Structure 1
Amino acid sequence: MLTFFSLVPGGWLSSNYQIISVVGEGTYGRVAKCVQMANKKIVAIKMIKDQDQKDPFKNQELAALQKLKACNSSKYNIVEWYQAFTVRGHLCLEFEFLEKSLFDLLQERYCNPLSLKAIRPIVIQIALALSHLKSIGTIHADLKLENVMLVNNPQEPYRVKLIDFGLACETSAAKVGSYIQTRPYRSPEIILGLPFTEAIDIWSLGCMAVSLYTGYLLYPGYSEHAILKYITETQGELPEQMLNCGQKTAKYFCREFNSDNIYHWKLKTTEQYFQEFGIEFVDKRVQKLKSLDELLYTEIIEDEDYADATAKRCDILMFVDMVKHLLHLDPRKRITPNQVLEHAFSKLSHLAWIRQSSSYVESCYEHINYLRTKKKETPGQSLHTSRTESAHKPTSDTRQSAQRNFPPSAAERKTRVIPHSQNGSPHSTQRSSHNLVRSSQSENSETIPKKAQCKRKHLQENEKDTSDPDLKRKKTNWKDVRRETLYQHERSDHDQQKRHDSMAPSCATTSYRTQNSILPIKRKPDESIFATSNKRARTNCENGKRHTFNHSWAEDHR
């Protein structure tokens, strides 16, 4: 058996690669940050531990990477793989270097959750990668926060790529009972020993989305029995059909009669499972959710602006709806990657009606438009080139193509300066503003920003108004205005005195006033409950201490 030599920083992996540091180590290999001496490029080298000694290139991950490279998968938020080589009989895989994962990001934030504005582009990019994997018949089988890397952070915030295809397999070759998926992200069909499809990756995506939103794992646990206990307490009993067909159902469930004298499966208690397998149950949940609907109340919205508070409540409602579809217990009814991309939470269709009056919605659109702009890059164009070219373009031109399918924002409407009407009629004002926008878009649209075009046109209209004597505005004679105002005041005082002399108290008048005095007064809602900051209350149900990932997440790994 080959000995797995140590990777020392400053040492040499081969004559072409010098080791800078060791960035990770797992069950199946080690990852080192290296510099390629030929072109001084920083790359990531993954050295595989267990492999076939006769044929080192006979590897499951290498086969999956070759298939992905043939399909040009780097365009679909998947890590770019360069080549494979051997060092002392060990297979080494060379990738582009990505420094930080979503797990590292949460640790840097001391497990403070991300906002939905940041979670949305992450979910969209992962769903796009899973959609591509499904189209080529591949299951990732190990989707988790550690395997989603940030790209060029913080210059390109929340742009991610999917890595680690060590457990990837083809959908047609999926074996029942395979040991795949990390426990906190493991789907019920894998635990029960059922046939599985790409739906197991969708379950992992749902667990990831909840972890980013709350700051803690949804279903932590040392054993599969603990995970099943968490799932049943939060989402209810598993479908009877799944339990009847599972190869490992009898390991975690027992048969008994219910109140209706129907024979059904029931999850074994923690004492029964400890007596049979000697695994003690330790509840590691930060918050014990009785339903996924309780995610609606984990965030306290305190915004002064009523439109922003309303938009955030609608956004949370759609997020929880998407999570419930991602974590459907029946894999056949679970949402697909394409349906995730078409969901209201991803497309922002539930917030389009309030975009004009909410700065929160406007910022959500900016996050999505940035992703759409990156998606339209040419396949052979590098990210460095695109950033350099976009730096020389006006801001309005770079966002115009991304915002083509959305209604105009509040910032765009402010740039449209409407000139004064020539004849004072509203129809003439609309025609002049329409012609102004159309002419400003057709004149030098590639070099001059839209705001500058509108201002230039506005100045030209003002010059035209002052140059033509027929178009000058009529001067106001303030003496006539003052005389007319005094006449109106005199008439009103005379009429008021006349009405006062003729008035007399009546029962109808008295009852009317009495009736109006007891009517309920409609008050505006107290807007003091909305504060400027958007705080999210995260409390431990038992001890109220801050939760960290160190004691639970690292131990849950294989």
Structure 2
Amino acid sequence: MEDRGNEELTEDEVIQQRAAKRQKLMQDLKLKGIVGINNSVQSENNNDPESNIQEHSTDNNVLAQTDNNVLSGPQQDMQASDSDSDSDDMFDNEEADVEVKNSNPNSGKHLQLHESMLDNWDDVEGYYRIIPGELIDDRYQVMSTLGRGVFAAVVRAIDLSNNGSGETQVGDNGGATTASAGGRKDRSTATAKNGSTGKNKVETNLVAIKIIRNNETMTKAGLKEVEMLEKLNARDPKHVRNVVRLLRSFEHKNHLCLVFENLNSNLREILKKFGRDIGLNIQAIRQYSKQMIQGLDLLRECEIIHADIKPDNILVDDSKTVVKIADLGSALEYNTDMEVTSYLVSRFYRAPELLLGLDYDFAIDMWSLGCSLYELYTGKILFPGQTNNQMLKLMMELKGKVNHRMIRKGKFSLSKDYFNGDMDFISHETDKVTGEPVGKVIKDVGPKESLKLKLRGMETPGTEEYVLLEQFVDLLDRMLALDPSKRIKPQEALTHPFLDGF
């Protein structure tokens, strides 16, 4: 590249300059034997670690192997998820897996970067440049990129230590396998689905590593997440209350890294792969509901508000029967730094008290979970508003008008955003003639329908599933109470007929 003296370089030029330097250094170091490179690790395309991204595939036959076809469900149309901000999901499909092909973790050859490459470890936004095959913390060999969000990038890795506590997976030459989840006693031995005993197999400890951006604000948030996860893990030493397990944390090249148990998917992916156009079976919804509410109960006990419950942030194990709440990047400690804001939580799952600017508590997570469960069962987003105003309108059309006490107390209620002085709702719409935004006063905003009507016909009358559906509708109604003081709490929900005795 032409030398331009002290003239400021563009971002593309900076990247090209770094790439050229990296290529030269890698070549020099390789010749000197300083860097060990596994021949199975593909070199970077144009030295951009994201350029080798491939579409990750999943064996759809797993649906047929699931007991009682538990994931199939009622026929409905699937709509895409939306949010006001980028997600930091541990399994984000927008960045598919970058796999290390034919890598042998026992070969003793792993990619280690020389100290002279310090200025090339990060991209211009502070994300760590992930290189498949790299050895992190002298222990974890990076296998694939799982996703990248606002706060961090997430990779799947093999824990090469003798005391690795990740998921034990046994495999043979591409054969289908099952995996133990979290080292629980009833799943301590992994066995190939083809019935073999695992003889002559290679055992690996898989983990997921969240690599926080090299940024003071992000690092501070990451340390807070570690603190909350450690609190949750300590409260649940047997790991049975459905919150993802943090194994350890460490620093790697100025990046805080969080090591989690390996879980292969999330409920957004499950819905896309097995519930597109049909939703999930009511039995699966029942099973998932109980586990997620157990997770909310643990969060409440530890006085933690998750603040971003949605299908993307509920991880699923390989059997598709165990789910765990994950991604506490937005979580808050109750009564600590709880700023009143209408943009907390992803929009489709945002509770009405947040929209109106009221004080909030753990009840916002129960609302988000109610929205998520409806979506999992039907394949449709319950409140697909494109703005907060539209969101509140849809909520009131289903559940009735927000009570006047909430309107009076809300920081944002009595304004052009929602209600006028007579407490009539102002709907933000577009004039069909001029195309200009207008405010339409609606005196009778709802309810116009009910959850029972929306879900009518989803199950056959006289069947066990129909009885479960009626119970599910009642539970959803309680989870989606507009008044947070009347919204069902986790302990109450666990004794609801839909979940009690299950």
TM-score for the superposition, normalised by structure 2: 0.60
1:62-81 alignment runs, 5 A limit: 62-72=226-236, 74-81=239-246
> What's the offset of the Cα at 1:151?
1.8
Larger CA deviation: 70-79 vs 183-192? 70-79
1:95-114 alignment runs, 5 A limit: 95-109=260-274, 110-114=276-280
Does the alignment pair 1:29 with 2:182? no
Does the alignment pair 1:344 with 2:487? no
What's the counterpart of residue 133 of structure 1? Answer: 299
Q: Which of 303, 313, 316 is residue 147 of structure 1 equivalent to?
A: 313
Q: Letter of the aligned partner of 2:474 in structure 1? A: D
Q: Letter of the aligned partner of 1:175 in structure 2? A: E
Distance across 1 between alignment mates of 2:286 and 2:395: 24
Check conservation: 2:459, 2:466, Cα contact below 8 A.
Answer: no
Check conservation: 1:192, 1:246, Cα contact below 8 A.
Answer: yes
Check conservation: 1:243, 1:265, Cα contact below 8 A.
Answer: no
The number of aligned residues is: 326
> What's the offset of the Cα at 1:130?
0.8
What's the counterpart of residue 138 of structure 2? Answer: 15
Return closer, same or farther for 1:63/1:115 CA change in 2, 3 Å cut-off. Answer: same
Does the alignment pair 1:255 with 2:414? no
What's the counterpart of residue 205 of structure 1? Answer: 369
Q: Letter of the aligned partner of 2:126 in structure 1? A: T
Q: Which of 323, 326, 332 is residue 485 of structure 2 equivalent to?
A: 332
What is the DSSP-based 3-state SS (H/G/I as helix, E as strand, rest coil) of the residue aligned with 1:165? coil
Distance across 1 between alignment mates of 2:266 and 2:372: 13
Return closer, same or farther for 1:277/1:176 CA change in 2, 3 Å cut-off. Answer: farther
Q: Letter of the aligned partner of 1:130 in structure 2? A: L
> What's the offset of the Cα at 1:301?
1.6
What's the counterpart of residue 164 of structure 1? Answer: 327
CA deviation map 1:513-553 (0-9, x unaligned): xxxxxxxxxxxxxxxxxxxxxxxxxxxxxxxxxxxxxxxxx
CA deviation map 1:86-134 (0-9, x unaligned): 1221111000010111111111022421121111111111111111111
What's the counterpart of residue 292 of structure 1? Answer: 451
Distance across 1 between alignment mates of 2:328 and 2:216: 18
1:50-449 alignment runs, 5 A limit: 51-52=215-216, 59-72=223-236, 74-109=239-274, 110-153=276-319, 157-173=320-336, 174-177=338-341, 179-249=343-413, 250-255=415-420, 263-271=422-430, 290-301=449-460, 309-347=462-500, 368=502
What is the DSSP-based 3-state SS (H/G/I as helix, E as strand, rest coil) of the residue aligned with 1:30? strand
> What's the offset of the Cα at 1:169?
1.2
Return closer, same or farther for 1:54/1:212 CA change in 2, 3 Å cut-off. Answer: closer
Check conservation: 2:243, 2:295, Cα contact below 8 A.
Answer: yes
Check conservation: 1:254, 1:266, Cα contact below 8 A.
Answer: yes
Larger CA deviation: 102-111 vs 336-345? 102-111
CA deviation map 1:24-46 (0-9, x unaligned): 22121111001122244111000
Q: Letter of the aligned partner of 2:128 in structure 1? A: F
Return closer, same or farther for 1:299/1:19 CA change in 2, 3 Å cut-off. Answer: same
CA deviation map 1:370-407 (0-9, x unaligned): xxxxxxxxxxxxxxxxxxxxxxxxxxxxxxxxxxxxxx
1:503-514 alignment runs, 5 A limit: none
TM-score for the superposition, normalised by structure 1: 0.54
Distance across 1 between alignment mates of 2:463 and 2:125: 61
CA deviation map 1:14-66 (0-9, x unaligned): 43222111112212111100112224411100011264279768732122112
Distance across 1 between alignment mates of 2:284 and 2:483: 29
Check conservation: 1:51, 1:58, Cα contact below 8 A.
Answer: no
CA deviation map 1:412-448 (0-9, x unaligned): xxxxxxxxxxxxxxxxxxxxxxxxxxxxxxxxxxxxx
Check conservation: 2:459, 2:465, Cα contact below 8 A.
Answer: no
Return closer, same or farther for 1:81/1:300 CA change in 2, 3 Å cut-off. Answer: closer
What is the DSSP-based 3-state SS (H/G/I as helix, E as strand, rest coil) of the residue aligned with 2:216? coil
Q: Letter of the aligned partner of 2:324 in structure 1? A: K
What's the counterpart of residue 394 of structure 1? Answer: none
> What's the offset of the Cα at 1:138?
1.1
CA deviation map 1:167-213 (0-9, x unaligned): 11111213322742111111011111111110001101111111111
Check conservation: 1:325, 1:334, Cα contact below 8 A.
Answer: yes
Return closer, same or farther for 1:343/1:53 CA change in 2, 3 Å cut-off. Answer: closer
What's the counterpart of residue 89 of structure 2? Answer: none
Return closer, same or farther for 1:278/1:46 CA change in 2, 3 Å cut-off. Answer: farther
Distance across 2 between alignment mates of 1:313 and 1:188: 30
What is the DSSP-based 3-state SS (H/G/I as helix, E as strand, rest coil) of the residue aligned with 2:260? strand
Return closer, same or farther for 1:79/1:240 CA change in 2, 3 Å cut-off. Answer: same
What's the counterpart of residue 412 of structure 1? Answer: none
CA deviation map 1:329-368 (0-9, x unaligned): 00000000011101011126xxxxxxxxxxxxxxxxxxx3
What is the DSSP-based 3-state SS (H/G/I as helix, E as strand, rest coil) of the residue aligned with 1:82? strand
Distance across 1 between alignment mates of 2:371 and 2:253: 39
Check conservation: 1:79, 1:95, Cα contact below 8 A.
Answer: yes
Structure 1 gaps of 5+ residues are: 257-262, 281-287, 303-308, 349-367, 369-558
Return closer, same or farther for 1:10/1:289 CA change in 2, 3 Å cut-off. Answer: farther
Return closer, same or farther for 1:279/1:37 CA change in 2, 3 Å cut-off. Answer: farther
Q: Letter of the aligned partner of 2:288 in structure 1? A: I
Identity %: 31
What is the DSSP-based 3-state SS (H/G/I as helix, E as strand, rest coil) of the residue aligned with 1:204? helix
1:490-509 alignment runs, 5 A limit: none
Structure 2 gaps of 5+ residues are: 1-123, 163-203, 440-446
Distance across 2 between alignment mates of 1:22 and 1:301: 43
> What's the offset of the Cα at 1:3?
2.7
What is the DSSP-based 3-state SS (H/G/I as helix, E as strand, rest coil) of the residue aligned with 1:264? coil
Q: Which of 37, 41, 45 is residue 205 of structure 2 equivalent to?
A: 41
Distance across 2 between alignment mates of 1:346 and 1:187: 23
Return closer, same or farther for 1:92/1:289 CA change in 2, 3 Å cut-off. Answer: farther
Check conservation: 1:78, 1:129, Cα contact below 8 A.
Answer: yes
Q: Letter of the aligned partner of 1:208 in structure 2? A: S
Distance across 2 between alignment mates of 1:80 and 1:237: 40
